[in-house]
Structure 1
Amino acid sequence: MLKKIPIKKAYLLAAASILFLVVSYELAFRQTIAAFQLHQELKAQLTQGADLSIQPAYLLRKDHNLNQLLARYRTDTTASRSGNLGTISQLAEKENVRLSEVPQQDPLYGTAQYSLQKLSFEGSFFALTTVLSKLQNSTGIGMIRSVNYKITLLKNSSATEKKLILELYLENTQ
């Protein structure tokens, strides 16, 4: 039947090739090209979304977390020393711990941005550790910068007595 049609084989081959390309495009290449374009769009959105500085929710969370950290450091400078000592001594008294020493503030320990306050507590290990935990969770008294447990021996006329002392450095911003 094809022999009776007066079409050259070269034209028939070209038409068959074009038909094959159209069918191939419809069945395979169109979906692949659409998937590739979608991939490029999503990749561009991902790189744009990776810049966290333009996401307002992230910035709000970060600001809130930083404000919470700063609130733990910040104290009122006019009444900070007496107010903090009152709060700290109340926490210590509840656990049967004695606030044994509050030396004068050494200007060498502080700068214009912060000041360090040394405190000494006496009591049992578990009571001292409980007080330390409560001080860490308290807000408005500053942040604990350093902790040191010491055992001192007191020699009386009849016997020697051991005392456990907790030395604590609190950092406050000014």
Structure 2
Amino acid sequence: MKKLLITKKRWALPIGAIILFLFCYQVAFKKSLEAWRLHTSLAKTLAASGDVSATPDFEQKKSRNLDRIIDLYKADTADFRSNILARIAAIAGNENVKLTDVPTRGQGSADGHLHIQRLGFEGDYFSLMKTLMRLEQAKGIGMIRSATLKVSTPADGTEKMKKTVLSVYFEIFNK
């Protein structure tokens, strides 16, 4: 009986080590080896395919994304004084803000595609901020380039005559 126990103990360590190795292989090593094989196969495929940026699908997707960005800036400058000013005045009117300064002529860029229009609004601070937010969300009127908020007092210094003025510069591309 003693000889049987000694024989079992002698084989217990190698059998335990083999079982532990199989368990570790299933839990950790197998997934790592599969990931390594996948990486090498994908690296070979990428090297064989060449430059990915030259594919037509990639170029079309890139073009669509650029068109979406440019559409945010587009507005018809010939029509700016009528339709777009009416839309901007309606947005301002909904927030009880007065449109005070209307552009006479925009500044153009050297290539003639970019125009900057400055509009002035007058009202209380919260209404001006709501108007600015609505103008940023509106489509087809151009992109807001900058906004300046000023509080002006008359020369005689009366506190009741203070005005809060918002100047908004729109960046517009010609269609």
With the shorter chain as reference, the TM-score category is 0.5 to 0.7
1:110 corresponding residue in structure 2: 108
Q: CA deviation at 1:57?
A: 4.4
Deviation for aligned residue 1:71:
1.2
Is the contact made by 1:147 and 1:167 (CA closer than 8 Å) also made in structure 2? yes
- The residue type equivalent to 2:108 in the other structure is G
- Say yes or no: does 1:72 pair with 2:98: no
- Bigger mean CA offset, 149-158 vs 163-172: 149-158
Structure 1 equivalent of residue 6 of structure 2: none
Higher Cα Rg: structure 1 or 2?
Answer: 1
Structure-2 separation of matches of 1:172 and 1:103: 13
Cα contact 1:154–1:160 (8 A) shared by 2: no
* % identical equivalent positions: 35
The unaligned stretches of length 5 or more in structure 2 are 1-34
Instruction: Return the alpha-carbon distance in structure 2 between the equivalents of residues 132 and 155 of structure 1.
Output: 28
How many residue pairs get aligned? The number is 138
Cα separation, 2, equivalents of 1:110 and 1:151: 29
For residue 142 of structure 2, what is the aligned residue in structure 1? 142
SS of aligned partner of 2:168: strand
Flag the 1:159–1:48 CA change in 2: closer, same or farther, 3 A: same
The structure-2 alpha-carbon separation of the partners of 1:53 and 1:152, relative to structure 1 and needing over 3 Å to count, comes to same
Aligned Cα root-mean-square deviation (Å): 2.9
Q: Does the aligned pair in 2 maintain the 1:115–1:172 contact within 8 Å?
A: yes
In the aligned structure 2, how far is the partner of 1:113 from the partner of 1:90?
27
CA drift at 1:67: 1.3
**1:80 Cα deviation (Å)?**
2.4
Q: Is the 8 A contact 1:123 1:165 kept in 2?
A: yes
Aligned to 1:44: 44
Q: Select the structure that is richer in helix.
A: 2
Question: 2:129 maps to what in 1?
Answer: 129
- Structure-1 residue corresponding to 2:84: 84
> Which of structure 1's runs of 4+ aligned residues deviate more than 3 A?
35-41, 46-52, 54-61, 155-160
* Corresponding residue for residue 61 of structure 2: 61
Cα distance between partner residues in 1 of 2:40 and 2:115: 55
Q: Is the 8 A contact 1:155 1:161 kept in 2?
A: no
The structural deviation recorded for 1:65 is 2.0
Distance in 1 between residues matched to 2:86 and 2:161, nearest whole Å = 29
